Protein backbone atom coordinates (compact mmCIF):
# COMPACT_ATOMS: atom_id res chain seq x y z
CA UNK A 1 0.00 0.00 0.00
CA UNK A 2 2.83 2.38 0.82
CA UNK A 3 4.45 1.87 -2.59
CA UNK A 4 1.13 2.62 -4.28
CA UNK A 5 0.78 5.86 -2.29
CA UNK A 6 4.28 6.94 -3.29
CA UNK A 7 3.49 6.12 -6.92
CA UNK A 8 0.31 8.25 -6.81
CA UNK A 9 2.27 11.11 -5.28
CA UNK A 10 4.87 10.94 -8.06
CA UNK A 11 2.17 10.88 -10.72
CA UNK A 12 0.53 13.93 -9.15
CA UNK A 13 3.80 15.87 -9.15
CA UNK A 14 4.57 14.87 -12.73
CA UNK A 15 1.14 15.92 -14.02
CA UNK A 16 1.32 19.19 -12.09
CA UNK A 17 4.46 20.09 -14.04
CA UNK A 18 2.68 19.62 -17.34
CA UNK A 19 0.07 22.28 -16.56
CA UNK A 20 2.52 24.97 -15.47
CA UNK A 21 2.78 28.25 -17.33
CA UNK A 22 5.98 28.74 -19.30
CA UNK A 23 7.30 31.35 -16.89
CA UNK A 24 7.29 28.91 -13.97
CA UNK A 25 9.84 26.89 -15.90
CA UNK A 26 12.31 29.81 -15.95
CA UNK A 27 14.92 29.17 -13.36
CA UNK A 28 18.34 29.38 -11.96
CA UNK A 29 20.01 32.78 -11.82
CA UNK A 30 18.20 36.10 -11.85
CA UNK A 31 19.76 36.81 -15.25
CA UNK A 32 18.62 33.45 -16.67
CA UNK A 33 15.11 34.11 -15.45
CA UNK A 34 15.13 37.58 -16.97
CA UNK A 35 16.17 36.28 -20.38
CA UNK A 36 13.60 33.49 -20.23
CA UNK A 37 10.81 35.85 -19.15
CA UNK A 38 11.59 38.31 -21.93
CA UNK A 39 11.19 35.57 -24.54
CA UNK A 40 7.87 34.54 -23.07
CA UNK A 41 6.75 38.18 -22.89
CA UNK A 42 7.43 38.59 -26.60
CA UNK A 43 5.15 35.66 -27.42
CA UNK A 44 2.42 36.85 -25.06
CA UNK A 45 2.60 40.36 -26.56
CA UNK A 46 2.34 38.96 -30.07
CA UNK A 47 -0.74 36.93 -29.12
CA UNK A 48 -2.35 39.97 -27.48
CA UNK A 49 -1.67 42.13 -30.55
CA UNK A 50 -3.18 39.52 -32.86
CA UNK A 51 -6.22 39.14 -30.64
CA UNK A 52 -6.66 42.91 -30.40
CA UNK A 53 -6.56 43.26 -34.20
CA UNK A 54 -9.18 40.52 -34.55
CA UNK A 55 -11.32 42.22 -31.89
CA UNK A 56 -11.08 45.51 -33.80
CA UNK A 57 -12.25 43.76 -36.94
CA UNK A 58 -15.20 42.28 -35.03
CA UNK A 59 -16.06 45.64 -33.46
CA UNK A 60 -16.30 47.14 -36.96
CA UNK A 61 -19.33 44.93 -37.55
CA UNK A 62 -21.22 47.26 -35.23
CA UNK A 63 -20.66 51.01 -35.04
CA UNK A 64 -17.79 53.44 -35.18
CA UNK A 65 -18.48 54.09 -31.53
CA UNK A 66 -17.84 50.42 -30.75
CA UNK A 67 -14.44 50.65 -32.41
CA UNK A 68 -13.61 53.84 -30.52
CA UNK A 69 -14.76 52.27 -27.25
CA UNK A 70 -12.44 49.33 -27.79
CA UNK A 71 -9.52 51.60 -28.68
CA UNK A 72 -10.18 53.74 -25.60
CA UNK A 73 -10.43 50.65 -23.40
CA UNK A 74 -7.13 49.35 -24.79
CA UNK A 75 -5.34 52.65 -24.10
CA UNK A 76 -6.67 52.63 -20.55
CA UNK A 77 -5.75 48.98 -20.11
CA UNK A 78 -2.16 49.74 -21.18
CA UNK A 79 -2.00 52.52 -18.59
CA UNK A 80 -3.38 50.10 -15.98
CA UNK A 81 -0.87 47.40 -16.94
CA UNK A 82 2.03 49.83 -16.69
CA UNK A 83 0.89 51.16 -13.30
CA UNK A 84 0.13 47.73 -11.86
CA UNK A 85 3.44 46.25 -12.95
CA UNK A 86 5.33 49.28 -11.66
CA UNK A 87 3.60 48.78 -8.31
CA UNK A 88 4.57 45.10 -8.22
CA UNK A 89 8.14 45.99 -9.11
CA UNK A 90 8.35 48.53 -6.30
CA UNK A 91 7.37 45.90 -3.72
CA UNK A 92 10.90 44.53 -4.11
CA UNK A 93 12.48 47.76 -2.84
CA UNK A 94 15.09 48.03 -5.61
CA UNK A 95 16.12 44.44 -4.94
CA UNK A 96 17.26 42.06 -7.64
CA UNK A 97 13.87 40.34 -7.71
CA UNK A 98 12.11 43.49 -8.90
CA UNK A 99 12.84 43.15 -12.61
CA UNK A 100 11.62 39.56 -12.67
CA UNK A 101 8.51 40.45 -10.65
CA UNK A 102 7.83 43.10 -13.29
CA UNK A 103 8.50 40.53 -16.01
CA UNK A 104 6.00 38.10 -14.49
CA UNK A 105 3.44 40.90 -14.29
CA UNK A 106 3.83 41.94 -17.93
CA UNK A 107 3.22 38.32 -18.87
CA UNK A 108 0.28 37.67 -16.56
CA UNK A 109 -1.77 40.79 -17.29
CA UNK A 110 -1.59 40.55 -21.12
CA UNK A 111 -2.65 36.90 -20.89
CA UNK A 112 -5.68 38.00 -18.90
CA UNK A 113 -6.39 40.80 -21.39
CA UNK A 114 -6.13 38.37 -24.30
CA UNK A 115 -8.67 36.07 -22.64
CA UNK A 116 -10.98 39.03 -21.98
CA UNK A 117 -10.81 40.22 -25.59
CA UNK A 118 -11.47 36.72 -26.89
CA UNK A 119 -14.44 36.33 -24.59
CA UNK A 120 -15.99 39.72 -25.36
CA UNK A 121 -15.27 40.05 -29.07
CA UNK A 122 -14.28 36.76 -30.64
CA UNK A 123 -16.02 33.88 -28.88
CA UNK A 124 -19.30 35.68 -28.29
CA UNK A 125 -19.68 37.33 -31.69
CA UNK A 126 -18.92 34.51 -34.09
The answer as to whether 17 is a domain residue is no
**What are the b/e assignments for 17-54, b being 16+ CB within 10 Å?**
eeeeeebeebeeeeeebeebbeebbeebeeebeebbee
Taking only the tens place, the pLDDT of each residue in 18-62 is 234 677 777 788 888 888 888 999 999 999 999 999 999 988 788
* Secondary structure (3-state) at 27: coil
* Within-domain flag for 4: no
Domain extent for 67: 25-123
Report the predicted TM-score, pTM, of the whole model to 2 decimal places: 0.76
CATH number for position 78 = 1.20.1270.180
Q: How many domains does the chain have?
A: 1
Average pLDDT (57-82) is 92
Q: CA dist 12 to 3, 8, 15, 19, 107, Å?
A: 14, 6, 5, 11, 26
Q: What are phi and psi of 28, to 5 degrees?
A: 85, -115
Amino acid sequence: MRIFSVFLLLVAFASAGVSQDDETKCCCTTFDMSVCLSKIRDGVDAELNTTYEKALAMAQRFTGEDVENLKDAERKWIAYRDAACKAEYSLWGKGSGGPNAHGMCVIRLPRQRTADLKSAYLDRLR
